């Protein structure tokens, strides 16, 4: 039987032999409950692992390309390209992206995202606003400017 010490943040270190016998890994979830005068730590799985989706060779290639593009979009939106429909479907099939939000990852949508990002970086966007009234005043000023330009 191993004796362990509680650390300053209520942390304990699980003895190596117990850790290995229970096949635990860093990041695993444990349920902590008190039974009488004992503290019981029980390994838990929050969700069952879903079986991996079966992909065709073509889907695997599309998924590989989608992964690269998604990383690029997250890292550098201005210099990235959106997914093709084939790539988006493969990414959604394996749970990499939400199927209901596939449109956001497609090149057509990403083109608009890049335009908005470029405008914001160039200082062409308005806001942020501290109130709805402030937003409305800004929109009214923009409308007046546009009417003067077209007159």
pLDDT one-digit tens code per residue, 24-38: 888 888 999 999 999
Q: Tell me: the pLDDT tens digits for 106-119?
A: 999 999 999 999 99
Query: How distant, in Å, are the alpha carbons of 11, 18, 49 from that of 40?
Result: 14, 13, 25
If you search the block for the tokens 């790539």, which residue do you land on?
Answer: 87
Domain residue limits, the chain: 1-46, 57-121
Domain 1-46, CATH: 2.10.260
Instruction: Give the pLDDT of residue 51.
Output: 76
Closest CA to 88 of 60, 52, 53, 62: 62
């Amino acid at each position: 039987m191993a004796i362990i010490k509680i650390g300053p943040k209520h942390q304990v270190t699980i003895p190596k032999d117990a850790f290995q016998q229970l096949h635990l890994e860093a990041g695993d979830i444990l349920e902590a409950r008190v039974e009488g005068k004992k503290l019981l730590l029980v390994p838990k799985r929050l969700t069952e692992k879903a079986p991996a989706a079966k992909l065709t060779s073509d889907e695997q290639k599309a998924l590989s390309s989608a992964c690269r593009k998604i990383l690029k979009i997250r890292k550098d939106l201005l210099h990235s390209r959106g997914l093709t429909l084939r790539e988006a479907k493969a990414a959604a099939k394996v749970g990499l992206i939400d199927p209901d939000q596939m449109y956001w990852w497609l090149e057509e949508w990403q083109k608009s995202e890049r335009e908005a990002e470029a405008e914001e970086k160039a200082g062409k966007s308005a806001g942020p606003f501290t109130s709805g009234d402030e937003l409305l005043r800004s929109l009214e000023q923009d409308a007046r400017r546009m009417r003067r330009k077209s007159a």
